[in-house]
């Protein structure tokens, strides 16, 4: 397991304690020096001292004999401006010329500005002053025996002790860091084979949080009953399944289902990716597999979830340059471990992948992965339920119909719908709205299809009309041609590489397509090019993607689906990528050169037929195409409801006059040079 998940909570490392003590010692040293330099002793001149002495304001003195001079320390009392007596410590020095000499002192004794002459020896003067000041007098002058400025032991040794303590703590801190680094390196060397699986004791995901996968949930609910009441199944000789393989496209909820099983069963959930096993050193992956199953057995019953198992479970001995020894050893160990634990031991391995075709057959056999559950994309009811799940914690306008949204999002996965609702919330906040409206969700869907709108990409009037005719051609084919998909939206707002596009979806979810439906799709693809040929008298590169899609569909009909005059024969099949254990070519062709010529002829036949059908439909509905084009130039985009109203009333609800009266460009203006305005 991860070291972070197994580390005891609330434990403080020694290096952290040493660092705190070291910082505290440095701060104490700094504070000491700051306060030691903030001396309250006032340094005065000797004449000022003599004046205070003569006035009887000196309280006590001490003579300190130095090597070169004599210093006088003491206290004097002086009144401040408010008349309050303040006792102040002072220090002064005796001039060398006054040492034991008779001198005339010119001192302002009375403080009236008149200096009087005092002739005395300095020391004798102090002694006489001592005799003249009796105890209890105002000056209370005495020569003290005890030195009030005596240096204490802390003054002498305090800074040294603090420096030694700080240095010691610093050394301990450094040694602790070095020791922890060495120990960490040793642990990393020893823990290299430890499992990287992340443990979740109680998953918060429940089955109610998973929508659009009712059949899959029914299969997974049985695992919950196995984990909760294993004895109920063992009475009839039923064995707990060892492994469940979830297969499905990205974003359809495989990981969510695994978490929901753990949440419902209330058992520990170990999650790891297939790539976490593989390292550059041979044997590491196998060691991690062993350690993962060892810990799983200690915590049984539990779930072990391996995401993207195809990273480690691909077929052995396939691909260019032979197999990868490290990956193959990891796979071998996984096979052994899944056979190693006993039936009903309480461990269920759930693996997820979207490439089950590249997995090793030994991994898929019964006894390892006993069940294979295909998690498909949600149907229309599933998408509606998913919309409601992701709208629970959001403030959505009551006008939003999730049923209609589910019909417009055919082929969307649960992750796509979650992203759409999140983008819609962000767009609502950006527009300072109090709730998410259908406009925000509609814009989020468009962003998911083709990216944000290119507002800076301004189209000329001619480009707008060409794009409008192109998209109207697609739309009219979708509206008028049998078996065609229903048109949900038309727009000429540039998005990404698209100059405009038509959203056409099946009215109901389809899992198989008929030949007529495939032909209708190709006719729909050719509708844009046909409209340009009829209304613009020229063509451009905007139909590039349409032609590409139409050709791919026609080739699949001929070579894979057997829907041509060549009969039900599969001439080509997709073999996948060489790096996934497949052949050196992506498609395998099983036909001769003569057959290749016939295949090309059949593909051309289908494309030509679709092209002619598209032109026929557009010519028969010419007025409808022009009406849609004019409306698109004015509105830039229209939805399915607006299209239906427009076709019936020939104008939209808020129009004051019919859209057909809008100005139409002259024929010469409609003829523009080929552009890539609609790289659809």
Could you list the active site residues?
Answer: 471
Instruction: Name 134's Cβ contacts closer than 8 Å, sequence gap at least 6.
Output: none
CB atoms within 10 A of CB 558: 24
Distance, in Å, from the CA atom of 465 to the CA atom of 677, rounded to the nearest integer, reads 11
Question: What ranges in 55-143 are assigned the alpha helix state H?
Answer: 122-132
| Helix pair angle (153-190, 14-37), 10° resolution | 160
Beta bridge partners of 105: 118
Query: In angstroms, what CA-CA distances link 552 with 11, 280, 517, 557?
Result: 63, 41, 15, 9
Instruction: Name 570's Cβ contacts closer than 8 Å, sequence gap at least 6.
Output: 559, 560, 562, 590
**3-state secondary structure labels for all residues of 395-444:** CECCCCCHHHHHHHCCCCCHHHHHHHHHHHHHHHHHCCCCCECHHHHHHH
Beta bridge partners of 269: 200, 303
Look at the alpha carbons of 230, 235, 241, 246 in this order and tell me if their dihedral is positive or negative.
negative
Instruction: Name 435's Cβ contacts closer than 8 Å, sequence gap at least 6.
Output: 395, 396, 397, 428
Distance, in Å, from the CA atom of 207 to the CA atom of 259, rounded to the nearest integer, reads 9
Residue with tokens 């004097």: 76
Instruction: Name 471's Cβ contacts closer than 8 Å, sequence gap at least 6.
Output: 490, 491, 492, 500, 501, 502, 528, 628, 632, 678
- Label the pairing between strands 637-639 and 486-491: antiparallel
Distance, in Å, from the CA atom of 73 to the CA atom of 91, rounded to the nearest integer, reads 4
Distance, in Å, from the CA atom of 562 to the CA atom of 570, rounded to the nearest integer, reads 6
DSSP structure string for 313-330: -BPTT-STT---HHHHHH
CA atoms within 13 A on the CB side of 300: 19
Are the C-beta atoms of residues 49 and 72 closer than 8 Å to each other? yes
Distance, in Å, from the CA atom of 536 to the CA atom of 539, rounded to the nearest integer, reads 7
Instruction: Name 387's Cβ contacts closer than 8 Å, sequence gap at least 6.
Output: 402, 405, 406, 417, 421
Are the C-beta atoms of residues 150 and 68 closer than 8 Å to each other? no
Q: Which long-range contacts (CB under 8 A, 24 or more apart) does 580-589 make?
A: 580/310, 580/314, 580/319, 580/355, 580/358, 581/314, 581/315, 581/318, 581/319, 581/358, 582/318, 582/319, 582/358, 584/320
3-class SS of residue 467: helix
Instruction: Name 55's Cβ contacts closer than 8 Å, sequence gap at least 6.
Output: 109, 110, 111
DSSP tag of 347: E
């Amino acid at each position: 397991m991860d070291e972070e998940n197994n580390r005891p909570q609330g434990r403080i490392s020694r290096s952290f304690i040493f660092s705190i003590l070291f910082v505290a010692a440095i701060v104490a040293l700094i504070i000491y020096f700051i306060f030691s330099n903030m001396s309250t002793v006032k340094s005065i001149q000797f004449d000022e001292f003599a004046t205070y002495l003569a006035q009887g304001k000196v309280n006590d003195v001490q003579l300190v004999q130095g090597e070169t001079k004599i210093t006088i320390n003491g206290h004097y009392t002086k009144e401040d401006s408010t008349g309050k007596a303040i006792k102040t410590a002072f220090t002064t020095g005796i001039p060398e010329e006054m040492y034991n000499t008779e001198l005339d002192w010119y001192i302002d004794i009375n403080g009236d500005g008149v200096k009087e002459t005092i002739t005395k020896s300095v020391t004798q003067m102090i002694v006489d002053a001592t005799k003249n000041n009796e105890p209890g007098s105002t000056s209370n002058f005495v020569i003290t025996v005890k030195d009030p400025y005596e240096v204490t032991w802390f003054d002498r040794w305090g800074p040294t002790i603090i420096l030694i303590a700080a240095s010691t703590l610093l050394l301990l801190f450094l040694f602790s860091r070095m020791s922890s680094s060495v120990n960490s390196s040793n642990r990393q060397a020893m823990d290299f084979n430890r499992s990287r699986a992340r443990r979740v004791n109680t998953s918060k995901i429940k089955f109610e949080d998973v929508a659009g996968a009712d059949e899959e949930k029914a299969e997974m609910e049985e695992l919950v009953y196995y984990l909760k009441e294993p004895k109920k199944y063992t009475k009839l000789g039923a064995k707990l399944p060892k492994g469940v393989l979830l297969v499905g496209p990205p974003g359809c909820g495989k990981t969510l289902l695994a978490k929901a099983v753990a949440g419902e069963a209330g058992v520990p959930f170990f999650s790891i990716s297939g790539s976490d096993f593989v390292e550059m050193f041979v044997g590491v992956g196998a060691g991690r597999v062993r350690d993962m199953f060892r810990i799983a057995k200690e915590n049984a019953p539990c779930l072990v979830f391996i995401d993207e198992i195809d990273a480690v479970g691909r077929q052995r001995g396939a691909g260019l340059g032979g197999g990868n020894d490290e990956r193959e050893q990891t796979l071998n160990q996984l096979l052994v471990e899944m056979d190693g634990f006993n039936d009903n031991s309480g461990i269920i391995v759930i693996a997820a992948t979207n490439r089950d075709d590249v997995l090793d057959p030994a991994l898929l056999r019964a006894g390892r992965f006993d069940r294979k559950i295909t998690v498909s994309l949600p149907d229309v009811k599933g998408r509606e339920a998913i919309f409601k799940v992701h709208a629970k914690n959001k403030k959505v306008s009551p006008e939003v119909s999730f049923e209609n949204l589910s019909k417009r999002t055919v082929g969307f996965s649960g992750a796509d719908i979650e992203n759409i609702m999140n983008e819609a919330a962000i767009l609502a906040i950006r527009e300072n709205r109090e709730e998410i409206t259908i406009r925000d969700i509609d814009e989020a869907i468009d962003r998911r299809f083709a990216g944000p709108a290119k507002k800076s990409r301004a189209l000329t009037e001619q480009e707008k009309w060409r794009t409008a005719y192109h998209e109207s051609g697609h739309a009219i084919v979708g509206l008028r041609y049998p078996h065609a998909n229903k048109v949900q939206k038309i727009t000429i707002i540039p998005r990404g590489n698209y100059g405009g596009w038509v959203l056409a979806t099946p009215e109901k979810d389809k899992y198989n397509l008929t030949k007529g439906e495939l032909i209708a799709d190709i006719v729909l693809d050719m509708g844009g090019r046909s409209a340009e040929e009829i209304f613009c008298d020229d063509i451009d590169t905007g139909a590039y993607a349409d032609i590409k899609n139409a050709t791919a569909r026609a080739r699949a009909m001929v070579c894979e689906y057997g829907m041509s005059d060549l009969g039900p024969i599969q001439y080509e099949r997709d073999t996948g990528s060489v790096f996934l254990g497949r052949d050196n070519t992506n498609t395998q062709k099983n036909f001769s050169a003569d057959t290749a010529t016939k295949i090309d002829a059949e593909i051309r036949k289908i494309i030509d037929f679709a092209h002619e059908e598209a032109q026929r439909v557009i010519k028969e509905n010419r007025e409808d195409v022009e009406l849609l084009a004019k409306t698109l130039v004015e509105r830039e985009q229209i939805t399915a409801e607006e299209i239906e109203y427009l076709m019936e009333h020939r104008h939209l609800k808020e129009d004051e006059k019919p859209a057909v009266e809008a100005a139409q460009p002259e024929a010469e203006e409609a003829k523009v040079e080929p552009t890539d305005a609609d790289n659809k």
